């Protein structure tokens, strides 16, 4: 059996033959440049391939869904307590897209290079530097103390987390990190920074201490990051209740 849950943002496909859940997104790429140099077709191909590789590396085979009970409806009796591995697939399209993906050829001094996701607008903004781990330092707060770490998170994987449902609305986590007003940063000779706690802006007060999280400043996946997908599964199979567990 193969059942598909369609949304504006993605299709969730559950296959009982393979015991897999595949989350498919159709991306329409729009390549822009603020550097004065146009994108070559080869460069576009490299970027599209690199983005997919990073998403698959960071998100595939990281979690599975399980039906909580083998009692009740026929689906529960057949597949309750069994694991469905969760994987993602990004398809490049020219029409019928879930997402418009705007990739800007980078100019570090230009505000046009902002990276982010517009959930309702179904737009993802990236630039060519987002294929690499971010350089510099990130701030995070834990137990009322502010720390810094080398920023080694890949922006593509973080922004993809928003695109699969971590949108910051009532029921789903969004950004989990803290922000610092740049004018209040003090960089020491060893490269580390000092911050005054009062200058922090909390994106998510409940989760801001989990600095290793992909939706914070880290690279680790959490089961909460699959909450939207879980809820789509609930709608696909009324009377069945899914839990997400990490692989």
Exposure b/e, 61-78, CB count within 10 A at least 16 = b: ebbbbebeeeeeeebbee
pLDDT band of 177, cuts 50, 70, 90: confident
Is the per-residue pLDDT at 56 higher than 80?
yes
- Judge whether residue 9 has pLDDT over 80: yes
Of all residues in the chain, the percent with pLDDT exceeding 90 is 65
Question: Residue 98 to residues 6, 11, 122, 157, 243: CA-CA distances in angstroms?
Answer: 10, 9, 7, 18, 25
**Residue 52 backbone phi and psi in degrees, to 5:** -60, -45
Residue 227's CB: how many other CB atoms inside 10 A? 17
- The predicted model gives 187-203 an average pLDDT of 66
**Which of 118-127, 148-157, 229-238 is predicted with the least confidence, judged by mean pLDDT?**
148-157
pTM over 0.75: yes
Q: What is the mean pLDDT of the chain?
A: 88
Query: Which residues does residue 243 pair with via DSSP β-bridges, in sequence order?
Result: 66
Output 145 or 88, whichever has higher pLDDT.
88
Per-residue pLDDT, 34: 81
């Amino acid at each position: 059996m193969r059942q598909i849950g369609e949304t504006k943002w993605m299709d969730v496909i559950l296959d009982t033959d393979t015991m897999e859940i595949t989350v498919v997104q159709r991306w329409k790429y729009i390549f822009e440049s603020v550097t004065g140099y146009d994108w070559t077709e080869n460069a576009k191909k490299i970027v599209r391939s690199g983005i997919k590789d990073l998403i698959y590396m960071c998100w595939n085979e990281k979690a599975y869904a399980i039906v909580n009970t083998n009692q009740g409806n026929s689906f529960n009796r057949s597949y309750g307590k069994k694991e469905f591995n969760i994987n993602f697939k990004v398809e490049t399209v020219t029409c019928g897209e879930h997402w418009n993906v705007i990739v800007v050829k980078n100019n570090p001094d230009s505000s046009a290079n902002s990276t982010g996701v517009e959930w309702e607008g179904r737009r993802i903004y990236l630039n060519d530097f987002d294929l690499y781990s971010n350089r510099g330092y990130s701030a995070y707060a834990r137990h009322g103390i502010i720390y810094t770490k080398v920023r080694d998170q890949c922006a593509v994987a973080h922004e993809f987390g928003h695109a699969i449902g971590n949108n910051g609305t009532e029921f789903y986590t969004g950004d989990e990190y803290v922000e610092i007003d740049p004018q209040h940063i003090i960089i020491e000779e060893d490269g580390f920074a000092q911050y005054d706690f009062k200058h922090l802006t909390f994106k998510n007060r409940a989760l801001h201490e989990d600095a290793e999280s992909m939706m914070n400043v880290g690279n680790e996946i959490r089961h909460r990051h699959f909450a939207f997908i879980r809820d789509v599964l609930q709608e696909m199979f009324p009377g069945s209740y899914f839990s997400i567990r990490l692989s």
